[in-house]
Amino acid sequence: MIDKKPKIGVIGAGHLGKHHIKHLAQHNDVEFVGAFDTNASALRKVCAEFSVNPVNSIEELVKNCTAVHIVTPTNTHFELGKFFLENNLDILIEKPITETVKEAESLIEIADQNKCIIQVGHIERFNPTINKLKQLISSPHCIEIERLAPFQARGTEVPVILDLMVHDIDMVLEMVDSPIKNIQASGAKMMSSTIDLAHAHIQFQNGVVANLKSSRIAQGYVRKIRTYQKNLYSITDLMIPQIEIYGLKNSGQFSQQSISRAVETSEGEKTVFYEKFIPEQKDALLEEINNFVESIIKRSRPNVDGHAGKRALDIALQIENKIFLND
Ligand code: NAD
């Protein structure tokens, strides 16, 4: 228990906002003020579900909160983020941070001036399966990520690169410590007025390549990460979730439980090790919220600050700009 709990509110009680509200309403280290949404009937319903207070305006949030979670559509992030930061509130803003790099820079500047915290909702940083994968691999030469989903209208105010691929861009930028050398991309529109399907090929100066594929017009949900490095190949399925590792020799990643098999190759017999990892499951959103609460209390930098959000957005927009649409 802490002496002075941050007073937190939520703006946006939609699909994701509901989960923020649920966690904050039962968080021991937070005084949850309530939620505001421009859709009054949806707000009433969500507030009743979690027995929390509806708030009548953003001004009321400012009056009663020291921090807010901004869980509204991306095209509102800048305006709302600016408003709360100018009123000296810390913000947890959903991804992507804003629609333009200039807007992200402006939010970072206001936060710096007012000594406020910005955390961006790149939730995969708190995904226990991804964090386990990062422990198991060391220096991948090639990273392939697929993030596919069936179509739904929600989120289509921005291209799929800003909606889905931005998660993987952030993940790759965190895994590869090198500047980007080149980006190639292709994509298509089908169901919305923005790009629904995108493929990106990112080459880093240190030789690492990342191939990202995102779609919101797929038949089903796919969340797969494949990494290749010397002697080690990993396949991670975030939907199960599980990590499978294959290694040409016992490279130290394998435990006693690993299965080994002798394989005849043109270079003679090689031993291939295989092991499956089922990481301990934790609620990534709760972990993200805990990181925000800790940052507020300690006045420390959150894991995903405004700069990280801006960096992922910058690459996402570069990918979008590379896509030639034939329409
Ligand atoms: P949603 O459409 O379900 O909910 C958005 C809510 O915001 C709606 O209830 C709407 O009425 C409300 N709203 C819109 N403008 C408002 C305003 N000016 N003031 C107050 N309320 C307003 O959308 P969602 O799926 O919950 O997405 C919200 C945000 O969360 C988006 O930025 C999206 O990219 C992000 N998101 C992140 C993840 C993740 O994995 N981190 C997943 C889904 C969505």
pLDDT digits (tens, 9 = 90+) for 276-290: 999 999 999 999 999
Give the residue extent of every domain in the chain: 7-122+284-302
- For residue 275, the surrounding DSSP H or E stretch is strand 268-277
Tell me how far apart the alpha carbons of residues 294 and 291 are, in angstroms, rounded to a whole number. 5
Query: Whose CA is closest to atom 4 on ligand 1?
Result: 14
pLDDT over threshold 70, residue 113: yes
- 77 CB-contact burial (10 Å; exposed 0-12 / middle 13-18 / buried 19+): buried
Q: Which two tokens stand for residue 300?
A: 């420390």
What is residue 327's predicted lDDT score, i.e. its pLDDT?
Answer: 63
- 304 CB-contact burial (10 Å; exposed 0-12 / middle 13-18 / buried 19+): buried
What is residue 195's predicted lDDT score, i.e. its pLDDT?
Answer: 96
Question: Ligand 1 pocket: which of 10, 11, 15, 162 to mutate (most atoms <8 Å of CB)?
Answer: 15
Sign (positive or negative) of CA dihedral 54, 57, 61, 63? negative
Total-model pTM: 0.96
Query: Whose CA is closest to atom 17 on ligand 1?
Result: 38
Is the minimum distance from the CB of 302 to ligand 1 under 6 angstroms?
A: no
3 state DSSP class of 326: coil
- Please identify, in words, the CATH class of the domain defined by 7-122+284-302: alpha beta
What is residue 207's predicted lDDT score, i.e. its pLDDT?
Answer: 98
For ligand 1, the distance from its centroid to the CA atom of residue 37, given in whole angstroms, is: 10
Query: Whose CA is closest to atom 11 on ligand 1?
Result: 39
Is the minimum distance from the CB of 20 to ligand 1 under 6 angstroms?
A: no
CB atoms within 10 A of CB 286: 17
What is residue 4's predicted lDDT score, i.e. its pLDDT?
Answer: 83
Sign (positive or negative) of CA dihedral 1, 296, 22, 83? positive
β-pair partners for 260: 273
Is the minimum distance from the CB of 295 to ligand 1 under 6 angstroms?
A: no
Is the minimum distance from the CB of 217 to ligand 1 under 6 angstroms?
A: no
Q: Which ranges of the chain does DSSP label H, i.e. alpha helix?
A: 17-25, 40-50, 58-64, 77-86, 101-113, 128-136, 160, 166-175, 284-298, 306-322
Tell me how far apart the alpha carbons of residues 255 and 274 are, in angstroms, rounded to a whole number. 10
Q: How confident is the model at residue 252 (pLDDT cuts 50, 70, 90)?
A: confident
CA nearest to 123, candidates 317, 290, 314: 290
Residues 123 and 302 sit within 8 Å (Cβ to Cβ): no
For residue 18, which atom of ligand 1 is closest to its CA?
26
For residue 285, which atom of ligand 1 is closest to its CA?
41
Tell me how far apart the alpha carbons of residues 31 and 9 are, in angstroms, rounded to a whole number. 9
Task: Evaluate the omega torsion of the peptide bond into residue 96 and state whether it is cis, within 30 degrees of 0.
Answer: yes
Give the strand pairing for 31-36 and 142-148: unpaired
For residue 77, which atom of ligand 1 is closest to its CA?
32
Is the minimum distance from the CB of 129 to ligand 1 under 6 angstroms?
A: no
Quote the percentage of the chain above a pLDDT of 90. Answer: 91
Is the minimum distance from the CB of 57 to ligand 1 under 6 angstroms?
A: no
Is the minimum distance from the CB of 116 to ligand 1 under 6 angstroms?
A: no
Residues 179 and 232 sit within 8 Å (Cβ to Cβ): no
Question: Ligand 1 pocket: which of 16, 99, 103 to mutate (most atoms <8 Å of CB)?
Answer: 16
Q: Which two tokens stand for residue 39?
A: 């859709």
CA nearest to 250, candidates 233, 271, 234, 236: 271
State the average pLDDT for the chain: 95
Is the minimum distance from the CB of 37 to ligand 1 under 6 angstroms?
A: yes
For residue 74, which atom of ligand 1 is closest to its CA?
32
Tell me how far apart the alpha carbons of residues 255 and 261 are, in angstroms, rounded to a whole number. 15
Residues 84 and 36 sit within 8 Å (Cβ to Cβ): no
Query: How crowded is the C-beta side of 32, counted as CA atoms within 13 Å?
Result: 22
What is residue 306's predicted lDDT score, i.e. its pLDDT?
Answer: 98
